[in-house]
Amino acid sequence: MSEEYKRILEAQLWNIANTLRGKMNADEFRDYILGFIFYKYLSEKMNIFADEILKQDGIQFKDITPKTENGKEFIEAIKEEALEKLGYFLKPEELFTEVAKRGMGDNEDNLEQFDECKTNFILEDLQKILINIQLSTMGTESEEDYENLFEDMDLNSSKLGKTPEARNAIIAKVLTHLDKIDFKLSDINQVDVLGDAYEYLIGQFASGAGKKAGEFYTPQQVSSILAKLVTTGKQKLKSVYDPTCGSGSLLLRVAREVEDVSNFYGQEMNRTTYNLARMNMILHGVHYRQFDIKQDDTLEHPQHIDKQFEAIVANPPFSAQWSANPLFTSDDRFSQYGRLAPSSKADFAFVQHMIYHLADNGTMAIVLPHGALFRGSAEQHIRKYLIENKNFLDAVIGLPANIFYGTSIPTCILVFKKCRENPDDILFIDASQNFEKVKTQNVLRKQDIDLIVETYRNRTETTKYSKKATLEEIAKNDYNLNIPRYVDTFEAEENIDIEAIAQEIKALDETIATTDKTIAQFCAELGISTPF
């Protein structure tokens, strides 16, 4: 049932996003539709939570006002409980469904003729409510998790409409359509459905956003591989960390592979995406005390410098620029290597940062461009140190080209462990040819993902697919990790039997000669000259 409902919910939400955005770009409308879904989620959680408390009094939260008997006392008591348990508070009149009804007025059941309907003005109220959600957390443990969470939802933006009335109409329409959808938050069997639908929307927006998409979204197929790799042999995780967490999807994906994750940590530079990540965490039911997402440049201003993590995953921006400031040579993350990653390519700076944060019993997996495997100079020096001095590199996995939004370059996954079970070799996997082409993208199928993961877990050697290379072999190759150096994918051409071909040509010549004689005979009988 949950799978069927999930598909229906995804279709409903995407249809609202697609049909109501008008002439707005999809990536511009994204922040509004995802924000309103999140607001509806908070409202429904608040309403369910409050109604449960009020059940013994025989009243419902939405019916309480300061004027009702003991109204103020009820609201204050519920607020105190909500801030402790949920981390935020909404008044009865601030609930999503109440605002949606105010916006539609008498036209609530007449959505087909909505464009002709006159809506009530709710913009100012709505903006205040979104601010109030944040203000309700001031001075509490959850304050940082809700701070400026709705700042990207500018309800006075001309992108929504030229006039306040036009903006009000589109927002009222979105709220009303969303209000008709049952998120089923009280159904324990549907607990992940809304979160999955939210992820689906994020992915849909990412696929249509071109190069911008790579900034905040890792395709689920790649997320699945990374998550399975770092949870190998684990049932529970004390912590998972993503230094370039984007929308938080990768962190949440890791949680699906184990029974429990105690704490989620992440850092994201882009402010809008940072807000999206916090929403995504809360909407997936991660308690505010369980996640710590920070906003800043991870390499230049790391926010979790005193922590180590059991699982680390990342899909950092490929070959990004960074300062490579000489001061970093005394930074504990980089000092022992003797070289910094080049300023034009931060790939190994992210590797070094993640290794610094990796617990002794942990595993980390990072997506990098193929060039990181074989580029020389400082990057070669860092690769050598990681393999020869530390022996942390556990596996190198080549992925197909064109599986990321916004770039067609081939990529790879590097897996690192501080305490390796197989310290004498490094596993190389060439999965670059295992995919399905879907429209303009290459897609990893379930069997492709399973093959990668099983090959890694069992360290299986398969002809033309995987090979365990000794550290001596890698040293002889000057620490060049280019996969074809270790996995032989050469396909020998079929042997050609020259003698047999010569006999075929000879037989063909004899057949042609016989045919020519027959044609010449016919021409003579007809009294015409032969064509040859």
Checking if the pLDDT of 27 tops 70, the result is: yes
The average pLDDT across 266-279 equals 94
pLDDT value of position 492: 59
Task: Return the higher-pLDDT residue of 183 and 257.
Answer: 257
pLDDT value of position 159: 85
Checking if the pLDDT of 321 tops 70, the result is: yes
Cα 293 to Cα 240: distance, rounded to the nearest angstrom: 12
Comparing 142-146, 155-159, 251-255, 292-296, which segment has the lowest mean pLDDT? 155-159
pLDDT tens digits, 374-394 = 999 999 999 999 999 999 999
Checking if the pLDDT of 344 tops 60, the result is: yes
Tokens 């940590």 locate to: 265
Query: Which contacts qualify for 280-283: CB closer than 8 Å, 24 or more apart?
Result: 280/195, 280/198, 280/199, 280/202, 280/247, 280/248, 280/249, 280/252, 281/248, 281/251, 281/252, 282/38, 282/41, 282/42, 282/87, 282/145, 283/37, 283/38, 283/41, 283/194, 283/195, 283/198
The average pLDDT across 336-343 equals 96
Q: How confident is the model at residue 211 (pLDDT cuts 50, 70, 90)?
A: very low
Task: Give the percent of the chain with pLDDT over 90.
Answer: 63
Checking if the pLDDT of 21 tops 80, the result is: no
The average pLDDT across 136-142 equals 96
Residue 14 CA to chain centroid, in angstroms?
18
pLDDT value of position 216: 57
- Classified as helix, coil or strand, 94 is helix
Pick from 269, 210, 268: which is nearest to 406 by CA? 210
pLDDT value of position 231: 98
Checking if the pLDDT of 526 tops 50, the result is: yes
Checking if the pLDDT of 412 tops 70, the result is: yes
pLDDT tens digits, 213-252 = 445 578 889 999 999 999 999 999 999 999 999 999 999 9
Q: Which helix (H) or strand (E) holds 429?
A: strand 425-430
Q: How confident is the model at residue 212 (pLDDT cuts 50, 70, 90)?
A: very low
* Residue type for position 404: F
pLDDT tens digits, 460-488 = 999 999 999 999 999 999 999 999 999 98
The average pLDDT across 298-308 equals 97
Task: Return the higher-pLDDT residue of 198 and 321.
Answer: 321
Mean pLDDT of the chain: 89
How many C-alpha atoms does 127 have within 13 Å on its Cβ side?
Answer: 13
Contact 99, 46 (CB under 8 A): no
pLDDT value of position 213: 45
Task: Return the higher-pLDDT residue of 506 and 400.
Answer: 400
pLDDT value of position 182: 84
Comparing 5-19, 46-60, 141-155, which segment has the lowest mean pLDDT? 5-19
Checking if the pLDDT of 266 tops 90, the result is: yes
Checking if the pLDDT of 259 tops 70, the result is: yes
Cα 444 to Cα 221: distance, rounded to the nearest angstrom: 6
The average pLDDT across 356-362 equals 97
The average pLDDT across 8-30 equals 80
Q: How confident is the model at residue 201 (pLDDT cuts 50, 70, 90)?
A: confident
pTM: 0.87
Count other C-beta atoms under 10 Å from residue 22's C-beta: 11
